[in-house]
Chain A
């Protein structure tokens, strides 16, 4: 029962360009969405989140967009840097549910 899907296992972009990572979900009860970044041999690190009352949230180079009607979430990184190379996980849960669901991850490679 995969309620959160990241359909692109990998993405490669040039340094300085925009990285766009995508995520789809099926559970309409989800109202809190997050992105995590994971380096090898480390745990996932919280990056940015958005609640369902918003459609956009920015934090520096990172912007998350939420399209509730399409049940689609995206993360934009501008400009991309080599240090952004990592696996990115999309996650979601409903406000009163402690079971946070994760996608399978997208491996981002930013080339110098």
Chain B
């Protein structure tokens, strides 16, 4: 069973730039969620994708956007980067949208905005 994989592992960007983070879901999982984890805090829900459509969104501005592809892999795009966007970005896949389906996380992408 292949787990959730994310790329790249680390990234340094300049304020105002755009970034794309990638995620391959665990085999058999059709739902992908993205989380932002700031230092010393728990993960915060950005959004979820199911059947290639956004299926719920947390308290993040529209410059955070995403895609899900037919093979269930996903991208997170962040435009007009701000210093506060520096965080660990976690992708998680699950076998369902909600219910009693635990999230299975990748190792994350550490984004630093300077």
Contact = CB atoms under 8 A, between A and B. Distances in A.
Mutual binders A and B: yes
Interface stretch (B11-19, B65-73, B77-85, B104-112): B104-112
Interface residues of B, number: 28
Contact of B58 (A36, A46, A94, A99): A99
Nearest to A41: B107
Contacts of A89: 42-43
A31 to B, nearest CB: 9
A108 to B, nearest CB: 15
B97 A46 contact: no
Interface in A42-71: 42-46, 49, 51
Contacts of B107: 41-43
B40 A100 contact: no
Contacts of B55: 98
A98 B56 contact: yes
A49 B90 contact: no
Contacts of A34: 102
Interface in A77-112: 89, 91, 93-105
Interface of B: 4, 6, 31, 33, 35, 40-45, 48, 55-56, 58, 90, 92, 97-100, 102-108
Closest 7 CB pairs of A and B: A102-B42, A43-B105, A98-B56, A46-B102, A98-B48, A99-B45, A98-B98
17 contacts: A41-B107, A43-B90, A43-B107, A44-B43, A45-B105, A46-B102, A46-B103, A51-B100, A94-B98, A98-B31, A98-B98, A100-B33, A100-B45, A102-B35, A102-B42, A102-B43, A105-B41
